[in-house]
Chain A
Amino acid sequence: MSAALAPFLAPALADPCVAAQTLAALPALDHVVLLSVALFAVGLLGVMSRRNILVMLLSVEIMLNAANLALVAFSRMHANLDGQVFVFFTMTVAAAEVAVGLAIVIALYRLRRTTDVGETTELHDVDYGPVPVLKLEGEAPAHAHDALHGDTAHDDTAHDDTAHDDAHDDVHAHEAAHGQAHGQAHGQDHDEGHGGHGGTA
């Protein structure tokens, strides 16, 4: 280690305050890169072996920070500020990733009451009941097709089928687009027990 540090120690020895400068001396850059590699491996371990989605997101933060450390180290090594500018972009991307990731975690928790990724792999054959649909006020998907066909007959019924799930509404919208099953399909109100497959035209 001392051999690697000799270039840094030489100017410090000529200076009166040797101790302070030695303590704050630049480390060997390959040691910084090795620390960055180790931190990235720790983050990778967290992403691969943990199942709590929050801890997985935290581990992704560790990996991003490891990359930041390498960027700063190489920026210092080449005396080039671009690496440090890139660190700011990485931080911004990390902030965006955390905002969207945590929003997804909250949506997932509302739906499944869990943050365990092992519990969310059975999407295809487990019936969790109707999925809460996000809709803007009075903007059912079928509306667009109604407007296209100039059909205002079931405007009043379109407002009360917000309990339907997405797939169901798509089927209705498709039928409406083909000019059949007007009015009767949208008036039908099915409850949660059907799991969203009970509607008929």
Chain B
Amino acid sequence: MFFYLFALVSLVAAALAVTRKNAVAAAMWLVLMFFGLAGIYVVLEAYFVAAVQILVYAGAIMVLFLFVIMLLDLRTEELEQRPMPRLRALGVLGAAAFLGTAVFAVLASKTALDVAPPELEAGAGAIGEALFNRWILAFEVTSFLLLGAILGAVVLTKKKLS
């Protein structure tokens, strides 16, 4: 079963990504997690989402992350980090509480999650049709969101002009 292979890969990669001390190593493990998730999307027959996952997440977002991490040159910063055992314990406790609650909710749900789903045409054409008909308003609003993000990023990082 390809799903369980990809699930194992992405789960292990995510766990390694949040525990690495070096931010570059964490970003690299996260790239592996994105590839694992793309494999799962292929298994789920969401081929276009899988392609966009690789292109946008692994190709654009992680490159942005790596550029910033390498620009800041964080090696010395990482070494100076004081360990905070109480914070770590709180994080583990919170994550475990969420995991327990959510797993219980999934396992206890009365909804039949294992029925055979009907066929679904999920190519780029079908998704484009949905995006530009039913979701056209959300699509346009999203373009304004991106415009705002661009302006915000430029204003925040701009050096003093005068």
Q: Is the CB of B102 within 8 A of A72?
A: no
| A201 in the interface (beta carbon within 8 A) | no
A-B contact pairs, 22 of them (CB 8 A): A7-B114, A8-B116, A25-B1, A31-B7, A32-B3, A32-B40, A39-B14, A44-B94, A45-B18, A52-B74, A55-B26, A65-B57, A75-B46, A81-B120, A84-B122, A87-B46, A95-B60, A96-B149, A98-B61, A134-B158, A135-B162, A137-B162
Contact A76 to B46, CB < 8 A, known contacts A7-B115, A106-B157? yes
Q: Say which residue of A42, A59, A87 sits within 8 Å of B49 (CB atoms).
A: A87
Residues of B within 8 A of A171 (CB): none
User: From DSSP, what is the main secondary structure of chain B's interface residues?
Assistant: helix
Q: Is the CB of B1 within 8 A of A23?
A: yes
Residues of B within 8 A of A43 (CB): 14, 18
Bound-complex Cα distance A92 to B2 (A): 28
Q: Report A2 CB to chain B, min CB distance, Å.
A: 11
Q: Is the CB of B3 within 8 A of A58?
A: no
Q: Say which residue of B113, B134, B156, B160 sits within 8 Å of A107 (CB atoms).
A: B156
Residues of B within 8 A of A96 (CB): 145-146, 148-149
Contact A39 to B10, CB < 8 A, known contacts A49-B92, A82-B130, A84-B49? yes
Q: Is the CB of A84 within 8 A of B57?
A: no
Q: Is the CB of A38 within 8 A of B11?
A: yes
A-contact 0/1 string along B24-48, CB 8 Å cutoff: 0011001001100100110111101
